[in-house]
Amino acid sequence: MVFVLCDKNTARYCYPVIKSKLPIHERIIISAGEKNKSLQSAGFIWNQLTERGTGKDSLLINLGGGMVTDTGGFAASVYKRGIDVVNIPTTLLAQCDAAIGGKTALDFKNIKNIIGSFHFPVAVLIEPAFLKTLDKRTLLSGFAEMIKTAIIADKKLFRKLSNTEIIPQQLQPLVSRAVRIKQNILKQDPFDLKTRQALNFGHTAGHAFESLMATRKDYLLHGEAIALGMVAESFIALNKSLITVKELNQITDLISHHFELPHIAEADFDKLFSLMKQDKKNRKQEIRMALPEGIGKVKINTKVQPDIIYSAFQYCNFALHS
């Protein structure tokens, strides 16, 4: 049996575009939005699969952004100990990052991606036309992961992004470049034991910002949180003499040019710090980050002291709001 998992948005805007090209299938539709990257959604999928007597030889096609590919990927990875998955990512963020590389995840107790598995899709099919279904805010969220890719691995791409407009025609040709960079990193370390952690630059602080704001009116999209996380972590990289002031300014300027990021209230600093202590890269209760080494290289597993982290929050406020 073949199932196509959509959220309410992709069911409406993307499914009709490719419906006729899909094999005979049944649809499963979940609610949209990060708050539905939950055990409840996974339970709903398992329920649908079980009720239809789905066998281990079945296929789940995830049609959506990172929320759908993460949730569907996780549900498929444990249903009968694993059924095959194909990802058809519909957002820029999922096309460049989330749908590639076999990481699946759910949020739990308001902590990002804390439940998850590795379950490599048998194929990832990227349809550029889907970028035209996205609003500017959603495109920008994906652009943040492109900036991350450039900072850790490709200085020329960073220069190019500095002159790119946030429109599908200009972004689409850059998707394959971002995918190739990610694939090269995955080849060396598919299970995130070491070098793949490079892809997590901006995410230690970024996931904390995303979790903190998740239940608030001014919640952040994943890429927005990562953009703020990259500003904070680049300051930490300067502090560790991994980048120069000029490079920190280049990164901060590119991000502040595109993103309107929130001021971080001092009252939230401790909560952010405790969220960062949940990060999967940490060892022996110490916070470890992947930090840029210049622009185009990265240093993984770098131990970071609490006081630098608090200074980094202050730097974000100073650099983005003064």
> Smaller CB distance to ligand GLY: residue 49 or 174?
174
Nearest residue to ligand GLY on Cβ basis = 199
The two tokens of residue 214 are 């998740």
DSSP string, 97-120: IITSSSEEEEEETTEEEEEEEE--
For the bound state, the minimum distance from the C-beta of residue 66 to ligand GLY, rounded and expressed in Å, comes to: 9
Q: Which of 77, 134, 68 is nearest to 99 (CA)?
A: 68
Q: How far is the CB of 176 from ligand GLY (least distance, A)?
A: 17
As measured in angstroms, the least distance from the Cβ of 32 to ligand GLY is: 20
Q: How far is the CB of 197 from ligand GLY (least distance, A)?
A: 8
Q: Of the two residues 44 and 224, which places its CB atom closer to ligand GLY in the complex?
A: 224
* Identity of the residue, 86 or 319, whose beta carbon is nearer to ligand GLY in the bound complex: 86
Binding site for ligand GLY (CB under 6 A): 97, 101, 103, 192, 196, 199-200
The minimum distance between CB 145 and ligand GLY, in angstroms, equals 8
Cβ-based nearer residue to ligand GLY, 199 or 309: 199
Strands (E), the chain: 2-7, 26-30, 59-64, 84-89, 103-108, 111-118, 123-124, 288-292, 298-303
Q: Which of 25, 116, 11 is nearest to 74 (CA)?
A: 116
Q: How far apart are CA 124 and CA 230, in angstroms?
A: 27
Cβ atoms of residues 281 and 200 within 8 Å: yes
Between 70 and 247, CB nearer to ligand GLY: 70
CB atoms within 10 A of CB 181: 20
